[in-house]
Structure 1
Amino acid sequence: MSETTLNKATTRRAEGSPRRLSGRHAPRLDRDQRKLLIAAGFIAPALIMYAAFVLVPLGMSLFYSTLRWDGIGRWRFVGLRNYLIVLTDPDLLQVIGNAFNLILYFTLIPIALGLAVATVIRGHMAGPFGTVTRTVLFLPQVIPLVAAGIAWSWMFASTGLVNQMLTAVGLGSLARGWLGDFTFALPAVGMIGAWVLLGLCTMLLVTGIAKIDGSIYEAAELDGANKWQELIYITIPALRQEIGVCVTITVIAALASFDIVYIATAGGPGISTMVPGLEIYRLAFAHRQVGLASALAIVLMLLVLLCVLPIQWFARPKR
């Protein structure tokens, strides 16, 4: 056999071997690719559920907010007109303002009282006093909000416990139907929300204060610091993240409040306690203005983001 023939045969075998090899053995994935596939397998179910129950409804709400539709008949595209109504209608602006007023009660009162309680029981958290205190304060968080709203509605009634206590201490002139008063109905609802959120804020702050090294307080006491200075210069800076979580939760609870207001006042008297969540429900199901209700819902979502994102930035640990 000539040298030329041998070279051609060798070349053909060399060219054919990759095709035969690739036909017999599938390409193997490297380690990083296998990890990526495994991670995708774990993430996929949660991502599908998130898309089905969050992203798709959000997209539908965005679409509905550009329509004039009663939810049953034919719809008509109106563009951004619903958003213009939300941002210019005096009643809807008052509804949004009511939600921001509730932040004062839902946020400031629970965090201030929770911080005070956490500071008081700081040295007794391991004993029975700390256990009983935490249990009693956390009970409102366990009680269903509907039950809490009903109970407080009875207490704020004209013949309820609040007015009876005022009368007993000689302040009967201040007694009134709190939830039916145009001036005091919203503060009364705010107090209900503050009572509900107090336990959660207290537990978060107690957990955070337990992580502070006790030697820091001992050193401050040796330097002559009083309790107020310890609170301002040690406790509050150390609880930066916990306070941020409390503010985030309570602000969202105030802006997205529904059940307590619905049970206690149903938005009355007038619209003095009407909040966006309840107004969205009323517009969509009572007045059948699905487009306007969707636009208000989108505006509420944006307001929540505008309030929460700066809080998260402020509360993140500094490097």
Structure 2
Amino acid sequence: MDVSASRPTSATAASRLRSILRPKSLNLKPYENAWQGYLYLAPGLLIYSIFILIPVLNTFRLSFHDWTGFTPPVFNGLDNYIELFENQRFWSSLLNNFFFVIFFTIIPILIGLFITSLLTRKTLRGLTIYRVALFIPQVMSTVVVGIIWRWMLNPRFGPLNAMLRGIGLASLAKPWLGDFTWAPYAVGGIGAWVGYGFTMVLFLAGVQSINPELYDVARVFGASPWQEFWHVTLPGLRRQIVVAFVIRFIAAMRIFDLVYVTTDGGPGGITRVVSYDLWQSAFQVNRAGYAAAMAVVLTAIILLVSFITLRLQARFVDDGE
């Protein structure tokens, strides 16, 4: 038997390879059934358009109108924006928002990093219990959280002041949510208590993607726990830190329910934020057009800061890896 005759020639092999790689043999028919893909997307796009896209566009349109919410809107150009930027109350509320960014964003990130550095140590037992307990504030309703803390900080029968009086520190007992000095810090502290659970879970998930060999090498060279965190954990969590900053920044700028439940914007407007002014303008003063302009400006600020943060991530975080 001639063995060479049974072997395929190079021309035959090439012919078979071309037949295998032909789009027809692979059933690759681009754009032939594209309408089916759009059909699958249609329900989601419809829901997105009805509940997000159309309201956003309508809000932008109404920001150029004088509208009470009941009468037909009257076009007034940029009057709402001019009035808004000339209103000192708006700038004061916006400044309060940025003050709360410290408590709603920066402090939860720092607490989340600290807890992550503790919970990632192999010598610590009961990690699951700690994680669940520390994450509870994040899953609670903000309104419920506000009611609980309003009771805890009550100047007469609140547990905090009762404890201070019980240990002989009655001079430190204060109307925490009614004091001009302490009310912003009290609301901010509640926001930090709510937010650190999210950052903790995000960072713990990010730690799982760090190569364990880096920790082994660090320990071989005698690195302390602080040095492990600074040189291994922190660089490995750069993306998660950026994500946490953006999400918590948005939460700080959109804060309303916590302020409404705890202080109602008081005392004397010291805890008033832009969302609270927006609600008052739209539903108490019946100036929906002015409130729409406020919403557009607030959204623009959030988008601008988020865009800058993500661009900095792409330039300094992603390029540095």
State which of 104, 128, 143 in structure 2 corresponds to 1:146: 143
User: For 1:218 and 1:167, how far apart are their aligned partners in 2?
Assistant: 50
CA–CA distance in structure 1, aligned partners of residues 167 and 68 of structure 2: 53
Bigger radius of gyration among the two? 1
CA distance in 2, matches of 1:128, 1:39: 49
Alignment of 1:247-258 (within 5 A): 247-258=245-256
Q: Distance in 2 between matches of 1:89 and 1:100?
A: 17
Among candidates 179, 182, 186, match of residue 181 of structure 1:
179
Which structure 2 residues correspond to residues 286-301 of structure 1 after superposition, within 5 A? 286-301=284-299
> Which consecutive segments of 4 or more residues in structure 1 shift more than 6 A?
none
Structure 2: distance between partners of 1:144 and 1:62: 29
The answer on whether the counterparts of 1:122 and 1:210 sit within 8 Å (CA) in structure 2 is no
Q: 1:114 to 1:64 in 2, by over 3 A?
A: same
Cα distance in 2, alignment partners of residues 272 and 35 from structure 1: 59
Amino acid at match of 2:192: A
Counterpart-to-counterpart distance in 2, 1:263 and 1:157:
13
TM-score w.r.t. the length of structure 1 is 0.85
Percent identity over paired residues: 36
Q: Which residue of 1 aligns with 2:273?
A: 275
Match of 1:122 in 2: 120
Aligned to 2:205: 207
* Alpha-carbon distance in structure 2 between the residues aligned to 1:93 and 1:48: 37
Structure 2 CA distance for partners of 1:121 and 1:293, relative to 1, 3 Å: same
Structure 1's unaligned 5+ residue stretches are: 1-28
Matched with 1:112 is 110
Partner of 1:51: 49
Q: Tell me the residue number matched to 1:60.
A: 58
Partner of 2:219: 221
- Return the offset for 1:30: 7.6
- 2-structure distance, mates of 1:69, 1:37: 41
The more displaced of 31-40 and 102-111 is: 31-40
In the other structure, the counterpart of 1:266 is 264
Per-residue displacement from partner, 1:220-268 (whole Å, max 9, x unpaired)?
A: 1222332222222211110111111211111111000111111111111
Aligned residue among 87, 92, 103 for 2:85: 87
What amino acid sits opposite 2:176 in the alignment?
W
Instruction: Tell me which residue corresponds to 2:230.
Output: 232
Cα deviation code 1:54-88 (max 9, x no counterpart) = 22111211121111221112433221111112222
CA-atom RMSD in angstroms: 1.9
What residue in structure 2 maps to residue 42 of structure 1? 40
1:124–1:130 CA contact under 8 A, matched in 2: no
TM-score, normalised to structure 2, is 0.85
Gaps of 5+ in 2: 1-26
SS of the residue 1:267 aligns to: coil
How many residues align? The count is: 290
Residues of 1 paired with 2:164 and 2:307: CA distance? 42
Structure 1 distance, partners of 2:214, 2:244, is 24
The change in CA–CA distance for 1:124 and 1:35 in structure 2 (over 3 A counts) is: farther
Please state if 1:33 is matched with 2:26.
Answer: no
Offset at residue 35 of structure 1 (A)? 4.6
Q: Tell me the alpha carbon deviations over residues 115-156 of structure 1, each in whole angstroms, 9 at most, x when there is no partner.
A: 11111110349x751011001001112221111100000111
Q: How far apart, CA to CA, are the structure 2 residues paired with 1:197 and 1:235?
A: 21
Distance in 1, Cα, partners of 2:46 & 2:91: 36
Instruction: Name the CA distance, whole Å, in 2 between partners of 1:133 and 1:314.
Output: 33
For residues 93 and 237 of structure 1, the distance between their equivalents in structure 2, rounded to whole angstroms, comes to 36
Could you tell me how far apart the structure 1 residues matched to 2:309 and 2:164 are? 38
More helix by share: 1
